[in-house]
Amino acid sequence: MPRTRLKRQPEYPYSTSLDVRVADLNYGGHLGFDRLLGLAHQARVQLFSQLDASELDLGDGKTGVVVSDLVVNYVGEAFLNDRLTFYLAPLEIGKGSFRLAHRVVHQDGKPVALIDIGLVAFDLAQHSPTVLPEPFRRRLSALSENTK
């Protein structure tokens, strides 16, 4: 099966640091793949907060986001109490969706992973895809301008 290879973005305008906790370890003693995604989720929640939004409310009281797809390329390991920096860059901002590129780096500067997550605007009451609220889309686009 061919491998999907993500490319590092030239710029990641948002970053946050998170620590690897004991609950994040797998039976091999290092950061589990599922827990890496949980940490990426936490980084996304923090980014949305900076954009005055949440995953359940992009600012209009009815629109949230759902994950449509994701790709992870692992390139390194992380262990208990390691500090990881998650660098995020919004990409491909469309009418009703966008992508978030993540670059995960260990405190010693070594890369841990590249992650690409597709997100779709979702009307939570109607349970259907919808358009991104324009104020959120503008804030996301302004942040995205830093990746060019």
**How is residue 111 written in tokens?**
């890369």
pTM: 0.93
List pLDDT tens digits, range 11-44. Answer: 999 999 999 999 999 999 999 999 999 999 999 9
Is the pLDDT reported for residue 138 higher than 90?
yes
Question: Dihedral sign, CA of 10, 4, 77, 80?
Answer: positive
List pLDDT tens digits, range 75-106. Answer: 999 999 999 999 999 999 999 999 999 999 99
Domains and CATH numbers, the chain: 14-147 (3.10.129.10)
Mean pLDDT of 110-136: 97
Predicted confidence at residue 84, as pLDDT, reads 98
